[in-house]
Amino acid sequence: MNKKIIIAVDGMGGDYAPTEIVKGCVQALQDFPLKLLIVGHPEVLKKELSKYTFNEEQLKVIPAYETITNEDSPVAAIRSKKDSSMVIGLRLLKEKKVDAFISAGNTGALLAGGTFLVGRIPKVQRPALAPLIPHKNGFSLLIDCGANVDAKPSYLAQFAYMGSIYMENILNIPNPKIGLVNIGVEKEKGNEVTKAAYQLLEDSPLNFIGNVEARDISYGVADVIVCDAFIGNIILKYTEGFGQSLFDILKEELLKTPLSKIGAFMLKSSFKNIKKRFDYTEYGGAPLLGLQGLVVKAHGSSNHKAIYSAIKQCIRFTEQDIVSKIQNSIIE
């Protein structure tokens, strides 16, 4: 790193804030020559920080006396809670006082705040929220899971560009495969939006592999899965719910009889391995791509490990200068 990277972290957002947020920040400082600004209620944060020893030059508390909760209406909260940890964090990014801002708080508010306060990269029509979702042998980037529930074909094409840059530079995947979510693989399948988006992607320099059906996503057929936010949300949340319900069913069946309990005990490490293959906390949060700065949405139930990974992700994003790369390559 040439210059010291500075990252702001929302100390008040998420189910386990501030405890796990602060813990993740302190751990990151042990491994990286960073500067972190934790934004939130100073007394609450200082009490948490008193549990640890750390270099005070590297970690500062930025006071914010309000908190945006999950119950708040996103746009109204960003407008009215000007002294909230989220708004102050986003302002620090806007004013280039930090390189990135991480929050595990209200997703809608972060999306709205990112767009209103940080602002889009010129030419980018809509910023997109892009989490990683697990597949059989790794992870794919699912773009968009944000706010664009009625996306235009040109938005989808831009999502593909941004997703490709991200996967190539952050996950080191050369020439990432781009797939368009559709109800069939043939070019003429789908609705008006997907048909037009297909044409734009086919004419692009991207490694477009065509339409992908939902049944192939879990087999890792594409590195970047492009869709509008409505579809993205369905896939993201269905993955969560279906996966969890399958594990619940498994648990129920394995604890039914004495024999099955013994069998389950013998398979403890196998089940641990499986769980690890789906562990999103290793990969940080979902970047909000297309803004003039890096905003990362960490999962609402982030623990310290997820926050640590999100910080690591921000370092790489900043070093690779993804914002400039998007700015230079995106086509209107």
CB of 220: closest distance to its own copies in angstroms?
Answer: 9
Give the number of residues in contact with its own copies, rule: CB under 8 A. 53
Q: Count of CB atoms within 10 A of residue 123's CB?
A: 14
Distance between CA atoms of residues 295 and 101, nearest Å:
5
CB of 171: closest distance to its own copies in angstroms?
Answer: 20
Distance between CA atoms of residues 135 and 214, nearest Å:
12
Residue partners of 142: CB distance under 8 A and separation at least 6: 130, 131, 132, 133, 225, 227, 232, 235, 236
Residue with tokens 């609705």: 191
Q: Which of residues 214-273 bind its own copies (CB under 8 A)?
A: 214-219, 229-231, 233-246, 248-250, 253-254, 256, 259-260, 262-267, 269-271, 273
- Whichever of 54 and 271 has its CB closer to its own copies, that residue is 271
DSSP 210: E
Distance between CA atoms of residues 233 and 284, nearest Å:
18
CB of 249: closest distance to its own copies in angstroms?
Answer: 6
CB of 218: closest distance to its own copies in angstroms?
Answer: 4
Residue 2's Cβ-count burial label (10 Å; 0-12, 13-18, 19+) is exposed
Binding mask 188-207 for its own copies (x = CB under 8 A): --xxx---------------
Distance between CA atoms of residues 241 and 237, nearest Å:
6
- Whichever of 1 and 183 has its CB closer to its own copies, that residue is 183
- Whichever of 57 and 150 has its CB closer to its own copies, that residue is 150
- Whichever of 175 and 245 has its CB closer to its own copies, that residue is 245
Contact status: 1 vs its own copies (CB under 8 A)? no
Among 109, 125, 140, 144, smallest CA distance to 234 is for 144
- Whichever of 231 and 323 has its CB closer to its own copies, that residue is 231
- Whichever of 92 and 132 has its CB closer to its own copies, that residue is 132
Distance between CA atoms of residues 108 and 99, nearest Å:
22
Q: Which of residues 50-69 bind its own copies (CB under 8 A)?
A: none
Binding interface with its own copies (CB under 8 A):
135-136, 149-150, 181, 183, 190-192, 213-219, 229-231, 233-246, 248-250, 253-254, 256, 259-260, 262-267, 269-271, 273-274, 277
